Amino acid sequence: MEFVERLFGDIPEMFKSEDELRTLWSRPDTRKALLEGLAEKGYGDEQLTEISRLIEAEKSDLYDVLAYLAYAIKPISREDRTIIHKSLIFSRYTGKQQEFLDFVLEQYVKQGVRELDSDKLKPLLELKYYSVHDAEVELGKEAAMIRETFIGFQQ
């Protein structure tokens, strides 16, 4: 419990508003930097998982846990978050991109936000298509934009 009390004091140093938290969270690179900053202050994966349990948000995104702690915003599950935003996400992409993003969103719901890290793109492509080459064949001309799609949909 001591680390939860410390976290309340440390949060204002990490981000100044919910909008800033959302902006930091929306890009894999800034989200990773925020999580690394939290880990440096003693709030690594283990501690954040424990906090999510304490507030009964085990199936929620870490964003929701931080927003709850900082601004008392009720957490929602990753599945509900995906359902809420899926039509907006899909409105910006077509065909094979939607199919890949649907797969990525399924992994996010099952595994959590770490599935959205930039370094997860290759393993996700291999999991879905068996190899990066097979992904390029399957995605065709859309393959050239897959990294941009992977990062862009998160915003």
pLDDT tens-digit map of 33-58: 999 998 998 888 888 888 899 889 99
Q: What is the pLDDT of residues 84-117, one digit of tens each?
A: 999 999 999 888 889 999 999 999 999 999 999 9
Does 147 lie in the same domain as 108?
yes
Q: What range defines the domain where residue 95 resides?
A: 78-152
> pTM for the whole thing?
0.86
Please count the other Cβ atoms lying within 10 Å of the Cβ belonging to residue 46. 9
In whole angstroms, how far apart are CA 67 and each of 8, 104, 128, 136? 11, 23, 32, 38
Q: Which of 45, 71, 97 is the last residue of a domain?
A: 71
